[in-house]
Amino acid sequence: MSTDHGQTPSQAIGPFFAHGLIPEQYGYAFTSLAGTALASERTMGERVRIQGQVLDGEAVPVADALVEIWQADAEGRYMHPAAPPRNVEFTGFGRAGTGADPHNRFLFDTIKPGAPQTGHAPHIHVFVFMPGLLNHVSTRLYFSDETSANERDNVLQSIAAVRRNTLIALREQSDEGAVYRFDIHMQGPLETVFFDL
């Protein structure tokens, strides 16, 4: 047996993950670990929708991507085993496939996270998996209506100004409430900033 503890290499997710990872969204006979609705009626916080597309190097929306998000609650607290228990469970974790929507969008119904205690601006971690992507990518969604917090955020400020806007989701008001638009560009002049994570 090998004694090295080198990391197990990443591989692409492949095109046929829906029955395993998002079966309920795609209508397969298995339970989903997480879906597109993160907030229950009892979850505190402003209800928002996160909506966007994953666009390839020719700006074509990707129809077979898996998008995962992880976020803090309205008070900026992440749910994890070391964190103190809450009255209302909010895992802050969601999954969406882009193949279930006619426009190949991912749509999450969640709450707007509060600012974390670290002094960073409110944000949502976003992870993208798809065939052709040998390692998943990791990025962050910040909010267009948090201008002053964004200006103080050391992660955002560490990014060249010309690319910073790729991480800012644009707030729009729809009939159903607040929608943040966040398109993820894999390549091209609008290529999203991805983190080494």
Q: Please report whether residue 149 would count as binding another protein according to CB under 8 A.
A: no
Q: Which of 90, 108, 182, 194 binds another protein (CB under 8 A)?
A: 194
**How far is CA 113 from each of CA 44, 67, 87, rounded to the nearest angstrom?**
10, 18, 17
Smallest distance from another protein to CB 141, Å:
14
Q: How far is the CB of 175 from another protein (least distance, A)?
A: 31
What gap in Å lies between CA 49 and CA 55, rounded to an integer?
19
Residues 169-188 close enough to bind another protein by CB under 8 A: 186-187
Alpha-carbon gap, residue 4 to 171, rounded angstroms? 48
Quick check: 133 binds another protein (CB under 8 A)? yes
The rounded distance, in Å, linking the Cα atoms of 190 and 59 is 10
- Residue 13 touching another protein (CB under 8 A): yes
In whole angstroms, how close is the CB of 192 to another protein at the nearest point? 8
Residue 17 lies near another protein (rule: CB under 8 A): yes
Burial 141-161 (b: 16+ CB within 10 A, else e): bbbeebeebbeebebbeeeee
In whole angstroms, give the CA distance from residue 62 to residue 80. Answer: 31
Q: Binding of another protein at residue 189 (CB under 8 A)?
A: no
Bridge pairing between strands 123-129 and 184-185 = unpaired
Number of residues forming the site for another protein (CB under 8 A): 72
Rank residues 37 and 134 by Cβ distance to another protein and give the closer one: 134
Which residues ranging from 38 to 97 are in contact with another protein (CB under 8 A)?
56-58, 60, 62, 64, 70, 72, 78-83, 91-93
